Structure 1
Amino acid sequence: MNALESTSTRPYLIRALYDWCTDNGFTPYVAVLVDDTVQVPREYVKNGEIVLNISFDATSSLKLGNEFIEFKARFAGTAREIMVPVNRVIAIYARENGQGMAFPVPVASSPGEETASAGKPSPLTSVPAAGTHGEEGKVVQLVNPEAPPGEPEPPRPPSGPRPALKRVK
């Protein structure tokens, strides 16, 4: 089996970094490039991207598969089903210290191009070879330059009345 016939390393690296985060008490976040194949609450998408907390406390029924990341989560108190194709994940990192891994951003393709190559690895999941030049060779910066160092800012929900919990004894 050669490199073109092998499966993508992306889902394996995502699972490994998820395990590393949870083993060390960190909160795993994934940054996702949103398109029509991504099932997320659109009201939280900013600049075509969304950052999702995939920790055990924030999700239920989490499945980190080879093709999709699937889970249920609450957004502003409403339960939602989330489904993200693995090739749309552009980074996974620990919220507390920003350590993690960024992946090449999927290249925009013409409609039907991905499905036309069924059975073959998608160019969206390939990692550029060392020494390549161009857009794919750029480093993705996950840190907000305006945020204080060491404290990445989590995504903010839309403004409105804040839900409150009532303690019942």
Structure 2
Amino acid sequence: MPNAIPPATPADGNMRVDVLTAAAGSIPTLTELNADTVANISCYLTPDGFAFTQEQATITDERLCSTETFGLPGRKSSTLSLTGIDNTNSEYETEYNEMADALTEGADRIVVARWGLPYDTPYAAGQKIRVIPIRVGMKAEQSPEANSVIRSTWSTFVSGPSDLVEIPTGG
């Protein structure tokens, strides 16, 4: 008897998020994704720290001959804010502050997100990734809380199409 409820992939540990300083094309190559300059921020992000949203507006399509209002797909918009560990001014700043170092205000960056595989699985051709070009906004330190860690939130401004693409073979 087939399973009536399809299986689900746990979210915990099965997402990778990287920050690239540049890519030659609109889809990063395997070489670019695995470069030493890439900041893997997966373990810096808090569980709700990758706040990516997409919306699409509706174009109203009214006709003289109809009593109904129809709709067409309109402009798309994407937003991204990142919340994670910030070791600025701590004993860990020099060695463990890649997220803060990568997200310099005003810098143009490319955020790459991959769902469904353990975060430490290397990138491979054919995997689906979300490529999000951004300009980094301001860093806002979060209020300290009991039984918590020091963290900050970076606002970003999506500066190009944020497409879901396959990693190309080669390169």
On whether the aligned pair clears a TM of 0.5, the verdict is: no
Q: Which has the larger radius of gyration?
A: 2
Q: Counting strand residues as a fraction of each chain, which structure ranks higher? A: 2
Q: Counting helix residues as a fraction of each chain, which structure ranks higher? A: 1
Per the normalisation by structure 2, the TM-score is 0.31
